[in-house]
A and B are shown apart, each in its own frame.
Chain A
């Protein structure tokens, strides 16, 4: 087991060992070597320190996915602060809420987002200092922003304690507001070390960076690659769902380790024309975030028989906490999804019933996880944090995943479903309550209830049931556009259905069971 250490030490170490190796590659925007990457991140560290940022602070990242954004992550860490990445395409009001919620001490933001963000933030509180870049790409815009700010005194990297926060990732919250998952340096480095043991990465590896940086899959891509002096190949978000482009990129960039949500791999298997490409460098295919439809996994394994396949499972609160290796070929008769497997070596798990008593193998129960990878809690939400953990008599804190699993006779865990109203869609966590809260902001909507049902093709299908104030349905186009202003695009329901009034249970609650039957 490697010693606890600041997460960013990996960059200084790799820069010392492999100064001229490529560290971060933007296929259409350039490459930074480890030496250049470390130097630019150091300049940002110094600038942030001059603004008063240090250990115990948080800094927001409001940038398109780019070399500039990766440098921002490490500059913030080197300054000792925690980074808070937001989805640059999400509604500005949501991003302002996030940055205000965790009281960022500074924000690195693109010029084209600055005005709207500043206006939204001003409605909540006093705007912190901004480091503004003219666009993003290759690191040059960030370098120019630092040039313009003038010279700052060069400092050493912060020597954070293992329990200091390294990043906060905001996920969908059931009350309609996103909540911040607080993750420490030790949470991250223990996960990186576990990955190192299983995947044996090296400087020759080329990791795909498909997940956006506000999504926890990015932790593996970025931090495992940098730990080992490997290359990180950034896939811009606007290209991230184009299977033709992705298949070609895997071949042209000689990707050795791919990691994404299954929905993306399903698209590549169906539409990517993989057999036309030489993907022989690929040795690892990792997927997480939702159940992989077996039909599409079979197709993928047939087209790409070379790499090893790993199904990784875990909520943002623990990062990956169980793993299962799928060994191709996928038998033609198999229809059941693969297990989520065994608990990772740096963690411990138990499966409990509704009274929190451990259940026997073969019995369904909620998976609870403890260990060095588990989050400290939700930012400024002590009640939700307390509800999120099961605490043993000896004080051990077990994170309640909310996922119902069953342990097979072989010791492998299989996912069965959720305990609450959260679903996974294209790898993203979606609280149905957050969609409802967004719909209720429409002045014409009197009642809203959202249900999700499994779908063989898409994984899950989300239907919104609505009642309007005047009893007339709204235009679907207008309603969808309203949703796009309130919610991230992946939260917009697939279907809208109008009722005179929502069905009620005998205790006058929304009757979700009946709505599911109707859907």
Chain B
């Protein structure tokens, strides 16, 4: 069965999303709502990673439960660069690029959860189905958030 492959991919993608959310938060320190909410949402992905690792362990698959727990080494540098450019309009385009990338990553992740849920139902793997039902709604909320921030922020950035 290839379900373990799906679990590995989900683990990789959730770890990456947590990292990318934190990086976006640091890079856009002066965009306060993006900064704070992105950090909160990174915690959701870190929780998913722990949940994935626990479920995987019971299936004999080793996944690092803490791969998404810590911010990266360059965090202070990214924050400082953001603060130095606080009066400049140019980081706005970078913000749109980052939100767009987050949106695409999250969309892919959402599909992966969908795949896991479908396969888990077909295989009657109820622990995997429960895992998907716990985590996937969060992914959809993360997805709506990136979309909403793009909608709200883009007009001023692209016209202003």
Do A and B come together as binding partners?
no
